[in-house]
Amino acid sequence: MNGLDCKVARLSLDAALDGEIDAKHRPALEAHLLACPGCRQALDGKRAIAERVKTGAERFTAPEEFKARLRAALPPDTQPQPQAHRASPWIARARAGSWAGAALALAASIVLFLASPSPQDTLTRELVGAHVRSLMAGHLTDVESSDRHTVKPWFNGRLDLSPPVPDLADQGFPLAGGRLDYIEERPAAALVYRHRQHLLNLFVWPEPKGDEHGLVRSQRNGYSILAWNQAGIAYALVSDLNPAEMEEFQRLWIARASGTTPPK
Amino acid sequence: MPHADAAYNLARWLIRDRHDAEDVVQNAMLRAYRFLDSCRAETARQWVLRIVRNACYDWLNAKAAIPVAGFADLDPLDIEGHHFTADIFGGLLEDPESLLVKADERSLINAMIAALPPEFREIIVLRELEALSYKEIAEIAGIPVGTVMSRLSRGRGLLVKEWNRRNERSRQ
């Protein structure tokens, strides 16, 4: 499949996760991940452990008395000068990642356009592609927060809509953050929620001419998509979670969203 | 004291004893700072960390606390790490009565990292806790970028495996 076998793919998962994979190899890995549930599961496991280490492991900081001892032991002429702080490489990478992500999304949509069988199918592919990309390269969230009061204002000025960001942590779907993505070559808000080891991307974008419609269910490459259209706004939920739980999430999300923000 | 925190953190994780780590870091930092002026700011951190890292390995070797050989000749595609899991987490985590079983996620994560062989442990610490790039880690550890990638991959693989094993067991 795609000239990339699982052994090679698994060796690249970490690089993909860390935004260290080179542009040349990335498309092959994305294609492989789309087709291979085993490698996706491996990627999920690695992302989860990386996050546990980042947030849970001790980062020892040098105690003041230790630094004082060190300073005292230095000859006076070698006292190092304080250096300007540079932006953390993690932040720089995250920024680079989101540009790369945007460029890739655009490239992907052009390719998909050339191949396009039907607009609906194109959209489905695009959504699943955006979901898979979000699992790689530190591009999951641009604003990482479980606080909806942080995530919602983040979209202001970046999008011509301000999506509701209900908190569903008490229902087992904690908010992970938000991200700017591209769907049908237009900017879209992506809200990221978690459920156990699974991630859910809820894409929200304005669709003023779209017909209002209820839930449309589709499947692709082991991912489920729930799409609906309400009051000129299109919503699409993508995840590898089972469809029943996704519908449960969708129901809860709508109920909370309409409770917290009155329809415009 | 530029980079003192990063150096301190790396040494604490490699040496796993506070007092010995402080001695090693202090001596190494004094040596590193003597030449710091000749370093460009972008490479100063790698320079300091490399000296501290090597001093930690000297200490570990002197203590013969670790088997240094053995990891280089592993099949690089042994992605699941079958060859060397030979329970590296063994003694530390096995005892069902130990505090760790009841301990929170944080202590468990710490214990799991501490139980990794140092070659994997240092990469995990530099990547996840210091947020360094593969290239920066390669410079510090004195290994090719490809080796950073495969060690990180196997290190994370070991942690995932151990994490899952413990979760399955705690559900039983």
Of the candidates B106, B133, B163, the beta carbon closest to that of A89 is on: B133
Is B46 in contact with B136 (CB distance < 8 Å)?
yes
What whole-number percentage of chain A has pLDDT above 70? 78
Task: List the domain range (segments joined by +) for residue B105.
Answer: 90-171
- Closest CA–CA distance from residue A158 to any residue of chain B (Å): 27
Q: pLDDT tens digit string along B27-81?
A: 898 888 776 666 666 678 888 899 899 999 988 888 764 454 433 333 333 334 4
Alpha carbons A139 and A102: distance in angstroms, whole number: 10
Render pLDDT for B76-132 as a digit per residue (tens, 0 to 9). Answer: 333 344 333 434 454 444 444 444 444 577 888 998 999 899 999 999 999 999 999
**Which candidate, A142, A121, A124, places its Cα nearest to that of A132?**
A124
Q: Are residues B94 and B164 in the same domain?
A: yes
8 A C-beta contact, residue A236 and residue A217: no
* CA–CA gap between residue B130 and residue B13 (Å, rounded): 12
Q: Are residues B109 and B47 in the same domain?
A: no
Across the interface, of A10, A67, A84, the residue whose CB is closest to B1 is A67
What are the pLDDT digits (tens) for A15-29?
999 989 888 888 899
- Min distance B100 CA to chain A CA atoms (Å): 14
pLDDT, tens only, A125-183: 888 888 887 877 556 777 777 788 888 888 876 777 888 899 899 999 999 888 888 88
Same domain, B161 and B104: yes
More confident call, B85 vs B162: B162
Residue A87 lies in a domain: no
The reported pTM is: 0.57
Residue B91 token pair = 């003694």
Q: Is the pLDDT of residue B134 over 90?
A: yes
Same domain, B94 and B24: no
Give long-range contacts, CB 8 A cutoff, 24+ apart: A10-14: A10/A39, A10/A42, A10/B79, A10/B153, A11/B76, A11/B77, A11/B79, A11/B149, A11/B150, A11/B153, A13/A39, A13/A42, A13/A43, A13/A46, A13/B153, A14/A46, A14/B149, A14/B152, A14/B153, A14/B156
Q: Is residue B107 part of a domain?
A: yes
* B152 shares a domain with B101: yes
Q: What is the CATH number of the domain that holds B130?
A: 1.10.10.10
Owning domain of residue A145: 141-260
Q: Are A60 and B9 in contact (CB < 8 Å)?
A: yes
Number of domains in chain B: 2
Give yes or no for a contact between B121 and B155, defined as CB atoms under 8 angstroms apart: yes
B13, B126, B128: best to mutate for the A interface, most A CBs within 10 A: B128
C-alpha–C-alpha distance, residues B89 and B92, integer Å: 6
Where is the domain boundary, A19, A36, A54? A54
Tens-digit pLDDT profile for residues A40-79: 999 999 999 999 999 989 999 999 999 988 888 876 655 5
Lowest mean pLDDT among A107-116, A207-216, A231-240: A107-116
Domain count, chain A: 2
What is the Cα B116 distance to its own chain's centre?
Answer: 7
Does A152 reside within a domain?
yes
